[in-house]
Amino acid sequence: MRKIATEEAFSIQPVVDGLNAVSKGDSHSLDMRLVKMIYGDNPPRRATLDALLDFDRRLEIMDENGVDMHVLSLTAPGVQMFDAAQGADLARLSNDVLAEKIAAHPTRFAGLASFAPQDPKAAAREIERARTELGLHGLVVNGHTHDEWYDQEKFFPIFEAAEATDMAIYIHPRAPRADLAGAFGDYGMETAIWGYGVEVSTHAVRLIFSGLFDRFPKLKIVLGHMGEGIPFWLWRIDYMHKNSAVKSGAAPATQLTPSEYFKRNFWITTSGQENPLALQYSIDMLGEDRVMWAIDYPYQPTEPAVRFMDDAPLDPAVKAKVYGETAAELFHIA
Ligand code: 1WB
Ligand code: MN
């Protein structure tokens, strides 16, 4: 079975340098704690940074564990803490490096292109370039940008370009918006333990409730971490959308129910969520073509992620889809 891991993070030195400057600034972003720990001067998480930058070591770990391919993405928060011009420059640079890495190892790496939502029209041009000139395989965005969610019309050029190029957008987490500091500022809750999932799940249901998928019916969205909790909530979301939100006029009527959009427009991955019960439930709920394997390298270790999938009590044909076939199809991987 081909093993294609779909949420695998990397970085490049110019982005690291940019985030080092951010680490010394006065941003109120809830990502600042993590930015200081990984990108600050003498960072305590230097090992994470090394792993993000070292492609030789990455290939060794892949080989040791029988992982065929990493679908690479510039790690969170991507270029989204920079201003529009710096963000766009670094996204282009990162995409160029990504294309070089893939060209050097075409059977081992695929890549999701970055873009800077700070300037949606420039982002749309970069999305076009990433597909037509660089041959990249999809897109990644890390939650909100400067505390803005994407259910606003000004961001539609991004979705138009993603739909036109058939590039799935992986919404990777980052910490919640700064105005949620009261709720998430304690106990490290802004991070992967809880805040990341709340940021992305909130963002995804906003996109659904806004009617975005009536406007862009072919848009493809990918969520990590077993769908960030949403698969478990679908029944209640449908019920309350019909009986509360639309009825009260708080949400626009949509052509489909929320769960119908989730099953039509969304794919999920297993990144950092190695629970066989959650896996089985997600496959039953969404279908065997909607769940893809991921490691979440280097934030999660590779060996248990492989063991999780090897041991998962799935029919071999279904396992082959989760392990790689669905990712190959969704991300145009040869
Ligand atoms: C993830 C985890 C992403 C961590 C990160 O990006 C950090 C993830 C900066 O689970 O996707 C982390 O620190 O554990
Ligand atoms: Mn991740």
Task: Compute, in angstroms, the gap from residue 243 CA to the centroid of ligand 2.
Answer: 35
Question: How many angstroms from the chain centroid is the CA of residue 19?
Answer: 19
Give Cβ neighbours of residue 73 (< 8 Å, ≥ 6 apart). 7, 8, 9, 10, 111, 112, 114, 140, 170, 172
Under 8 Å between Cβ of 281 and 244: no
Q: Tell me, using a 6 A CB cutoff, whether residue 298 lines ligand 1.
A: no
Task: Compute, in angstroms, the gap from residue 269 CA to the centroid of ligand 2.
Answer: 10
> What is the pLDDT of the chain when averaged over all its residues?
98
pLDDT by residue (tens digit) across 139-190?
Answer: 999 999 999 999 999 999 999 999 999 999 999 999 999 999 999 999 999 9
* DSSP 8-state symbol, 177: P
For ligand 2, a single-atom ion, the residues with CB < 5 A are 7, 296
Sheet strands (E) in 119-237: 138-142, 169-172, 221-223
pLDDT by residue (tens digit) across 104-144?
Answer: 999 999 999 999 999 999 999 999 999 999 999 999 999 99
Q: How many CB atoms lie within 10 A of CB 99?
A: 18
Q: Tell me, using a 6 A CB cutoff, whether residue 296 lines ligand 1.
A: yes
Of 22, 31, 191, 302, best ligand 1 pocket probe by most atoms within 8 Å of the beta carbon: 191
How much is the pTM?
0.98
CA gap 217, 195 in Å, rounded: 29
Q: Tell me, using a 6 A CB cutoff, whether residue 75 lines ligand 1.
A: yes
Query: pLDDT-derived band of residue 258, with 50, 70 and 90 as boundaries?
Result: very high
Spot the catalytic one: 83, 296, 310, 311.
Answer: 296
Query: pLDDT-derived band of residue 301, with 50, 70 and 90 as boundaries?
Result: very high
Measured at the CA of 315, the angle between CA 309 and CA 316, to 5 degrees, comes to 70
Walk across the sheet containing 291-292 and list its strands.
4-10, 69-74, 109-113, 138-142, 169-172, 221-223, 266-269, 291-292
Count of positions (residues) in the chain: 334
